[in-house]
Amino acid sequence: MAQIIDGKLVSSEIRAQIKIKAAAFEEKYDRKPGLAVIRVGEDPASVVYVRNKMKACDEVGFVSATYVLPENATEAEVLEKIDELNNDPTVDGLLVQLPLPKHLDEKSIVSAVAESKDADAFHTLDAGRLKLNDDSILPCTPAGIMAMLKRYGINPAGKECVVVGRSDIVGRPMAALLLAADGTVTIAHSRTPDLGAVTRRADILVSAVGRAALIKKDMVKPGAVVIDVGMNRNSEGKLCGDVDFEGVSELAGFITPVPGGVGPMTVTMLMNNTMNAALRAKGEIK
């Protein structure tokens, strides 16, 4: 049976460290580190995600604020709010919750967030940095996965790593981080003809697709490390990942559960990015 990689546990360890840094920051600068989130519209999943981010801020000792704009907000209105928060010295980290309503251009909105405050690291410049092996600001989900691998003593160096999914926020940066850690990396996607043939090669398999039970037992190499990023609802409405957890955990070496795996780590790394942005603004770190 696979060993469970406990995202909640690793998360609580990292949050405890952030809490110490936040308290020291408050002591020194007479204010708490601050995260601001802009949410456009009432997408139910986004409402829950943003609420969780605010709760995590409380837990680590940050101040947080959510600014909600109506579903029909114009690009100019969103950009105006971003500009206001970019110029607010009490805001260290800023993010715009995705997905945005269809009439808004995600790329230009996300790239309007000041680079120094970009808590999600979705800015085009951050994507470029990552390609050049500069890991100073990392997107939260892949950074969280790397932190979990490290905590469980799993070193990607020399390993066959397969990432399923090539989105800008998970798949691509995940592959870049595994490559930077000296893994031999393959990216599979919806046009990959025989997915199982590719995933069976993986010593470390990361699935970031968004389809329940896509990764089945016969697609996994015995002993592999299986990281499930997917967040789906099964036919009973229960939260589940991309991986058939029951089947795959019979032969994998390590596996992340859903919930309780990658999810909590993503929020934790958002806290980490915000803390680092606050310290960077004070010249305390590079």
Tokens of 1: 């049976």
187 closest CA partner among 263, 126, 199: 199
Residues between 69 and 98 with contacts to ligand NDP, criterion CB under 6 A: none
Catalytic residue among 32, 81, 97, 221: 97
Residues between 136 and 155 with contacts to ligand NDP, criterion CB under 6 A: 141
> Maximum Cα–Cα distance for the chain, whole Å?
57
Does 164 help bind ligand NDP (rule: CB under 6 A)?
yes
Is 95:270 a contact under the CB 8 Å cutoff? yes
* Closest CB 205 distance from ligand NDP, rounded Å: 12
Residues between 15 and 54 with contacts to ligand NDP, criterion CB under 6 A: none
* Closest CB 209 distance from ligand NDP, rounded Å: 4
Tally of CB atoms within 10 A around 196: 14
231 closest CA partner among 45, 9, 54: 45
* Residue choice 86, 111, 167, 186 for contact with ligand NDP (CB under 6 A): 167
Does 259 help bind ligand NDP (rule: CB under 6 A)?
no
* Closest CB 256 distance from ligand NDP, rounded Å: 9
Q: State the Cα–Cα distance between residues 100 and 96, nearest whole angstrom.
A: 8
Single-letter amino acid, residue 148: M
Catalytic residue among 53, 81, 159, 221: 53
* Residue choice 36, 37, 143, 169 for contact with ligand NDP (CB under 6 A): 169
120 labelled catalytic: yes
52 closest CA partner among 37, 31, 69, 40: 37
Q: Which is nearer to ligand NDP, 81 or 118 (CB)?
A: 118
Q: State the Cα–Cα distance between residues 51 and 54, nearest whole angstrom.
A: 5
Does 170 help bind ligand NDP (rule: CB under 6 A)?
yes
Mask for 199-238, x = binds ligand NDP (CB under 6 A): ---------xxxx-----------------xxxx------
Is 230:212 a contact under the CB 8 Å cutoff? yes
97 labelled catalytic: yes
Does 262 help bind ligand NDP (rule: CB under 6 A)?
yes
Peptide bond into 259 cis (omega under 30): yes
Handedness of CA 151, 226, 211, 163 (dihedral sign): positive
By annotation, the residues acting in catalysis are 53, 97, 120
Residues that bind ligand NDP (CB under 6 A): 141, 164-167, 169-171, 188-192, 195, 208-211, 229-232, 262-263, 266
